[in-house]
Amino acid sequence: MHIRVINPNTTQAMTDAIGAAARAVASPGTRITASQPDSGPVSIESHFDEAVSVIGVIEEVLAGEREGTDAYVIACFGDPGLYAARELTRAPVIGIAEAAFHMAGLISTRFSIVTTLPRTMIIAERLLDSYGFSHNCRRIHAADIPVLELKDNPDLALQLIIEECLRAKHEDNIGAIVLGCGGMADLTPQITEAVGLPIIEGVTAAIKLAEALVGLGLGSSKYGDLAFPPAKPFIGRFKSYSNLKSE
User: What ranges do the domains of the chain cover?
Assistant: 2-95+205-241, 97-202
Q: What number is the average pLDDT over the span 31-45?
A: 96
Mean pLDDT over residues 3-27, rounded?
97
Nearest to 79 by CA among 38, 21, 120, 25: 120
Q: Which of 76-80, 84-88, 135-139, 182-186 has the lowest mean pLDDT?
A: 182-186
Calpha distance 18→24 (Å, rounded)? 10
CA angle 125, 21, 5 (to 5 degrees): 70
Q: Can you tell me the mean pLDDT for 126-135?
A: 96
pLDDT > 90? residue 244: no
Supply the DSSP string of 108-149, one letter for each residue: -S-EEEEESSTHHHHHHHHHHHHHT-TTTEEEEEE----TTH
pTM (predicted TM-score): 0.95
Model pLDDT, residue 246: 65
For the stretch 72-87, pLDDT in tens is: 999 999 999 999 999 9
CB neighbour class for 107 (10 Å; exposed up to 12, middle 13-18, buried from 19): exposed
Average pLDDT, integer, range 166-193? 95
Write down the architecture of domain 97-202 according to CATH.
Answer: 3-Layer(aba) Sandwich (3.40)
Q: For 171-199, what is the mean pLDDT?
A: 95
pLDDT per position as a tens digit, 214-226: 999 999 999 999 9
- Percent of the residues in the chain that have a pLDDT greater than 90, as a whole number: 93
Transcribe 60-90 into DSSP letters: HHHHHHHHT-SEEEE-STT-TTHHHHHHT-S
Q: Could you count the other beta carbons within 10 Å of the beta carbon of residue 124?
A: 22
Q: Which CATH architecture has domain 2-95+205-241?
A: 3-Layer(aba) Sandwich (3.40)
Q: Which residues are CB-contacts of 156 (< 8 A; sequence separation ≥ 6)?
A: 145, 149
Confidence of residue 247 (pLDDT cuts 50, 70, 90): low
Residue 123 has pLDDT above 80, yes or no: yes
Fold match flag (2-95+205-241 vs 97-202):
yes
pLDDT at residue 245 is higher than 80: no
Residues 6+ apart with CB under 8 A from 152: none
